[in-house]
Amino acid sequence: MISPGIAIAASVLVPLVGFLAIWLFDKSPNIREAATLTTGWLLLLLTVTVFLAVGEGARPGYEVFDVIEGLPIAFRAEPLGAMFAVIASGLWLINSIYSIGYMRGGKESHQTRFYMSFAVAISAAIGVAYAANLFTLFIFYEVLTLSTFPLVTHKGTDEARLGGRVYLGVLMATSIGLLLPAIVWTYAITGTTDFALGGILATHVDEMGLILPFLLGLYAFGIGKAALMPMHPWLPNAMVAPTPVSAFLHAVAVVKAGVFSILKVAVYIFGIDVLKETGASTPFMWIAAISILLASAIAMHKDNLKARLAYSTVSQLSYVTLGAMLATSMGVMGGATQIAAHALGKMTLFMCAGAVYVAHHKTLISEMRGLGRVMPFTFGAFFLGAMSIIGLPPMSGSWPKFLLMLGAADAQQLAIIAVLMISSVMNVIYLLAIPVQAFYMDPAPAEGGKAPGAKGAAIAWGHLQEAPFLCILPPILTALGAFILFFTMDPLYQYLAPIVGGVG
Amino acid sequence: MSLSAQLPVLPIVIPLLMAPITLLLPKGRAPWAWAVLCSWLAFAASVAIINNVYEFGVISYHLGDWAPPLGIEYRIDLMNALVLVLVSGIAAVVFPFAYESVKSEIDERQSPYFYGALLICMVGLLGVTITGDAFNIFVFLEISSLSAYALISMGGRRDRRALTSAFNYLIMGTIGASFFVIGVGLLYQATGTLNMADLHAKLAGQDNRVVQSGFAFIVVGIGLKLAMFPLHLWLPNAYTYAPSAVTAFMAATATKVAVYVLIRFFYTVFGFDFAFEVAAFTYVILPLGIAGMFIASLVAVFQEDVKRMLAYSSVAQIGYMLLGLSFATTAGLTAALVHMFNHALMKGALFMAVACVVLRTGSHSCHAFAGLAKRMPYTTWAFVLSGLSLIGVPLTVGFVSKWYLLQASFAAGHWYAGFLIVLSSLIAVVYVGRIAELMILREPDPDGPYALARKEAPLSMLIPMWVLVIANVYFGIRTELTGGVAERAATALMTMASGGAQ
Amino acid sequence: MLEFILERYNYWIVITLMMTGLYIVYARGNLVKKIVGLNVFQTSIFIFYITIGKIAGGTAPIYIGDDLKKMKEGAHGDGHGDDHGEGHDAEGLHDTPEGAHANDLSDAGEESLHSKIENQFPDVDGNDLKTALQNLEPSEGEGTEVEGLHETVEGGGKIANQMFEGADKEAAGFDVAGAKEAVEGGLHAAPDAAAAAAQTMGAAASHGEIIYTNPLPHVLILTAIVVGVAGTAVGLALAVRIREAYGTIEEDELEAMDNVAEFGAAGTERAQ
């Protein structure tokens, strides 16, 4: 086994090597895809190594060099980051398998560019996960934004261009306009940007006064990837991307990098105790609560499946922000576990949406009635994923909701409990309705030239018209993962406990 | 009298002696090769100088062995040395680049004159940087400006508007230089010396109307030269219609040198005990810097012509430098110096990319940029990368600049300025993004004049351009050379400005 | 009040010329006229610099050979009749009266300086004046009040020594470098004392002292004139090229033609 410190550096580097390999084997798709998958396996191996080391109480780190004097690019793994890295690399592997099925099934163009961008994006996501200071985090955060831009505009249509413009515009505007000043300001106050348990601002609270909530606001809105309303429009707009992009980046890597950063800032920059004592986070807790409800309400009106999932994501992301802003240990734990649970659940849903698109070229929910009868595996997985998102046992998504409610009770914010409950009800309506309609309702009458299976790459199997195998397997895997995580939540909880326990 | 003892004068003397020889060379490659050789020699000398200064401290060279303050002194501290390396370095990169571009834009018969003027222009800029004598600055400033007028007007072969813009620049530039001379005269009247170190000593404690009006004349005069908003009107046209290689050279150096002169006067000649200057910082330089940042950036957004867009962006970027130096703190001055250096790198690379496009499409209108990613990938990515640098994306020099500037404004308590800085870089996202999107995501209008298949720019242009692009990334990751030197230089300047001896 | 204005008539000329020049540059559409305006503007600067160097009653900083010979009681200068070389010499020696030049604009305390001079001049007299200077000064006793002024300035003594050395060398055998140094010494010393009172100088003049104006501003302005001429030349050359390219040198017509080039004929019509 290599040392965890080296593994950290390697896990940022390996995807970049993969990037080169993909570029070199541009002309032979099979070798190119093999390169992607090999990279994926290697990466997973590395992140798991780090994960296990962190579990044993180590805090491995790797310092690259000082960019500006006193501001190094440095990595240090802690439980939250180690978990995020494993989730990201594991799901990237699954998503790569899915992408191959999707891209080949859909005969998409520019596949090499697609995989290359993906490799850079995952490298950046890992960089965010392991960042030892805000400076490093910001660098990789920006790289993540830019590397995903070609993916969002992949189709090259006017619509894609417009979506890409909003995507880049909102993310760059928030990160440069709010997050960067926030980081520099923190640096100006404390003289460091290192993450430290208990918060580096804790010793400066007295001199800051009103700057504290203001600074927190800069972080909360500046981390646009967390999609806290009103900084969310990039997420629905990013749905013009091919589905694997939406599935991985906009359910896992990019958005989770956002909420992960918010958690990191709350725990390691401000410190939960500071937030609790000063009450600085209360306004943002309410904004997150409003964001949860509003996004759910919008999601109910969307007929486009991906748009509905996108708004659902906006809503679910705000759970994490809410957890951080509750400023109780239960809240933070709820937020942290939500990162894992939601990643599995939402990825399942997106991949199912992609499978439907590949097989039948359908994007509207109203067109999917009765489709469950010919695509039982896809919609079965969808059903499980939806349960997890809603928070129904025995799916993993129920734990974070439970922890968040405990956290809200700790913070004596009963209204937040109500918000969580209302949101779950809304989730039931807009998510569960889809598989139910698909299984129990008769197919919509086929319109001219839009007969089922006429355009798609469905594979006939008896009376079934399922998506290609490579498109079905991954969602089933993630749905299973969400199921297993329900029973293994306690180890994960214990693993994450140091971030709020003060030990570690 | 070994050569090394004469080192400080070499960056001036070598090109000054070599420039006239250019005129005697036959047209074609010879003048170009001669100029390139000369720029490399000057660069080598400059690097040797900065090494020397870094290790042994300030160099004082007495021209013709006449002792200062009577004789002309070349006084090189870290700040000059940094600007010296910058100017000669940019020259060493742009001159090799120029050949193909110039060949296509300028009558071949003029090429000896062109390279001669280019060398003279470089001499002027290096001279301004190196000298420690106030009147000498004026002379060198005019040497560089006069050759710049000629260089810009040579763009008249492609577009006759180059002539009128050169003329306008001449009028404005001459007025600026004259104002500067008046200011220097007033200072001379008050102190009886022209040596800048001596001026500093003699001006200490003086705060009368002679010194004040001298200060005002100098600030306005240099303000015209550095295109300080709202004295920037000559710049956009001059940059737009000048031959592309000239634009790349001038944009990266000329205004930077003027900024250097401003800093030199603010911090070395005058000082903070000169209350008038502190007031000027707060009520003139800071607001003008901010206004320039926003107004020029906004104007840039609406430009159809890429060169003009970048020219307005230059005016905006100068606003950042003014902002940094107006904080009157070490951090602020460091930020201004770092940005001065970094901006030269990014603007140089951007204008070089435009020059490549001009070479292949014959136009610098934004329509010519549509769909270039497929046909000129290396040029496109050079443009995009240096554009990202201009925006201030991490891992580029632009980010380092922004970081220093933001840090300086927060540390100085001007936190609103910090937000204005990022706000105006968001405008940069718009204007850079617009062109980048055109290049990468659009297809050219199939019926338009730019639809013909174009090949990539020649290697002789790509290599120098990518040298600068890589410098953009390198100095965005390692900042010992820029930030470290700038910080030391700024500390020394601040000590002087606060009344201490250097 | 009137006196205040009249005493500074040269500054009023400078200001008037400056404003006239700038106005011409701004208001005239003809490019050549703009250049003319620029020249008028620059002329004002020349006059300004000359004003700096001017000393009431002073003559041009050119060595007057005959006068010097007359004044020299000894035969020191004999055999060195070369005007050029001795010109340098004399300039160097005559830093003193130049130094006494009163500068109207400067607010520096005249009185204190004046008294300082009086305190110090005997000292200077005794120590520093070497043969050349002695020969040159017909009436040291009274006239050196002015010379003392130079010495009050910090570092002045050193420079004087240096200068005298130069003068000696000159006397001995034409050491040009030394002479140069002497000149420079004088140049430097002069403005240092620029704040002194005008009447001091009058006194000096009445004692038969040859007063030269400060040469340094003249040298500077010669340089500036060269620069100005070069600028004018480039400007006129550009005007010629513009006329070749556009067929006119009227600014508004040029602008209209450029507008056509940029927006097409329709754009110009709209603009009008």
Tens of pLDDT along B164-180? 999 999 999 999 999 99
The answer to whether residue B430 scores a pLDDT higher than 60 is: yes
Q: Which residues of B touch A74 (CB under 8 A)?
A: none
Residue A461: what pLDDT? 61
CA distance B144 to B128: 9
Q: What is the pLDDT of residues B72-89, one digit of tens each?
A: 888 888 888 999 999 999
Q: What is the pLDDT of residues A199-240, one digit of tens each?
A: 888 888 787 778 888 888 999 899 988 888 888 888 888 888
CB contact under 8 A, C235 and B175: no
Q: Which residues of B touch C239 (CB under 8 A)?
A: 167
The answer to whether residue B182 scores a pLDDT higher than 50 is: yes
Mark whether C67 and C146 lie in a shared domain. yes
Mark whether C88 and C158 lie in a shared domain. yes
In the DSSP assignment, the letter for residue A109 is S
Torsion angle of alpha carbons B380, B386, B389, B395, nearest 10°? 80
Q: Which of B170, B177, B188 sits opposite C191 (nearest CB)?
A: B188
Which chain B residue shows the shortest CA-CA distance from A145?
B393
Q: Which residues of B touch C241 (CB under 8 A)?
A: 153, 156, 163
ipTM of the complex: 0.87
| Residue A162 in contact with partner chain B when CB distance is under 8 A | no
CB contact under 8 A, A172 and B437: no
- Would you list which residues of chain B are within 8 Å, Cβ to Cβ, of chain A? 388, 391-395, 400, 402-404, 406-407, 410-411, 415, 418-419, 422-423, 425-426, 429, 433, 437, 441, 476-480, 483-484, 487
Q: Give the largest CA-CA distance in chain B.
A: 69
Mark whether C209 and C225 lie in a shared domain. no
Residue C264: what pLDDT? 65
Which chain B residue shows the shortest CA-CA distance from A173?
B426
Q: With respect to residue C197, please indicate whether it lies within any of the assigned structural domains.
A: yes
Mark whether C103 and C131 lie in a shared domain. yes
Q: Which positions ≥6 away from B67 have C-beta within 8 Å? A: none
In a mutational test of the B interface, the residue from C234, C240, C244, C262 whose CB has the highest number of chain B CBs within 10 Å is: C234
Q: Which residues of B touch A168 (CB under 8 A)?
A: 429, 433
| Residue C188 in contact with partner chain B when CB distance is under 8 A | yes
Mark whether C119 and C248 lie in a shared domain. no
Q: Are B378 and B349 in contact (CB under 8 A)?
A: no
Mark whether C66 and C187 lie in a shared domain. yes
Q: Which of B69, B164, B178 sits opposite C242 (nearest CB)?
A: B164
Using the structure block, give the residue that is written with the tokens 């004399």.
Answer: C90
Residue B119: what pLDDT? 92
Q: Are B196 and B187 in contact (CB under 8 A)?
A: no
Q: Which residues of B touch C31 (CB under 8 A)?
A: 167
Residue B481: what pLDDT? 82
Q: How far is A330 from chain B (nearest CA, A)?
A: 35
Give the three-class secondary structure for A364: strand
Q: What is the pLDDT of residues B400-423, one digit of tens each?
A: 999 999 989 988 888 888 889 989
CA distance A348 to A344: 6
Q: With respect to residue C37, please indicate whether it lies within any of the assigned structural domains.
A: yes
Q: Last residue of a domain, which of C163, C192, C213? A: C213
CB contact under 8 A, B479 and A188: no
CA distance B43 to B90: 9
* Mean pLDDT score across all residues of chain B: 87
Domain assignments of chain A as residue spans, ordered by start: 1-272, 281-504
Q: Which of C107, C192, C258 sits opposite B192 (nearest CB)?
A: C192
Q: Which residues of B touch C192 (CB under 8 A)?
A: 192-193
Which chain A residue shows the shortest CA-CA distance from B398?
A176
H-assigned helices in B273-412: 275-280, 286-301, 306-326, 330-361, 372-375, 377-391, 397-411
Residue C220: what pLDDT? 87
Q: With respect to residue C100, please indicate whether it lies within any of the assigned structural domains.
A: yes
Q: What is the pLDDT of residues B110-158, one digit of tens each?
A: 888 999 999 999 999 999 999 988 899 999 999 999 999 999 998 888 8
Q: Which of A139, A168, A177 sits opposite B423 (nearest CB)?
A: A177
Mark whether C91 and C189 lie in a shared domain. yes
Taking residues B303-313, report their average pLDDT: 91
Q: Average pLDDT for consecutive 10-residue bins of chain C (272 residues)?
A: 80 90 90 92 89 77 65 46 38 40 40 41 39 40 39 40 43 41 44 41 53 82 90 93 88 84 58 43
Q: Which residues of C touch B181 (CB under 8 A)?
A: 45, 49, 224
Provide the percentage of residues in chain B whose pLDDT is more than 90: 40
Chain B, chain C: beta-carbon pairs less than 8 Å apart: 111
Q: Which of B388, B441, B477 sits opposite A67 (nearest CB)?
A: B477
Q: How far is B476 from chain C (nearest CA, A)?
A: 39
Residue B385: what pLDDT? 92
CA distance A167 to A232: 10
Q: Which chains touch B (3 or more CB pairs under 8 A)?
A: A, C
H-assigned helices in B131-195: 134-153, 161-191
Residue B389: what pLDDT? 92
CA distance A43 to A53: 15
Q: With respect to residue C56, please indicate whether it lies within any of the assigned structural domains.
A: no
Considering only residues 14 to 73 of chain A, which have any Cβ-Cβ distance to chain B shorter than 8 Å?
65, 67-69, 71
Q: State phi, psi for B200 to the nearest 5 degrees.
A: -60, -45
Residue C207: what pLDDT? 54
Mark whether C173 and C265 lie in a shared domain. no
* Domain, as residue range, for C11: 2-51+220-271
CA distance B223 to B225: 5
Which chain C residue shows the shortest CA-CA distance from B147?
C234
User: Count of domains in chain C?
Assistant: 2
Q: What is the pLDDT of residues B21-67, one digit of tens each?
A: 888 888 888 889 999 999 999 999 999 998 888 888 888 888 887 87
CA distance B415 to B413: 5
Q: With respect to residue C117, please indicate whether it lies within any of the assigned structural domains.
A: yes
CB contact under 8 A, B189 and C105: yes
For chain A, which residues score pLDDT lower than 50?
447-455, 502-504
Residue B453: what pLDDT? 58
Touch A-C: 3+ C-beta pairs under 8 A: no
CA distance A231 to A224: 6
Q: How far is B225 from chain C (nearest CA, A)?
A: 15
Q: With respect to residue C89, please indicate whether it lies within any of the assigned structural domains.
A: yes
What the block records as the tokens of B28 is 């074609």
Mark whether C145 and C44 lie in a shared domain. no
**CATH number for the domain that contains residue C225:** 1.10.287
Considering only residues 49 to 108 of chain C, which have any Cβ-Cβ distance to chain B shorter than 8 Å?
49, 52, 103, 105-107
Residue A445: what pLDDT? 56
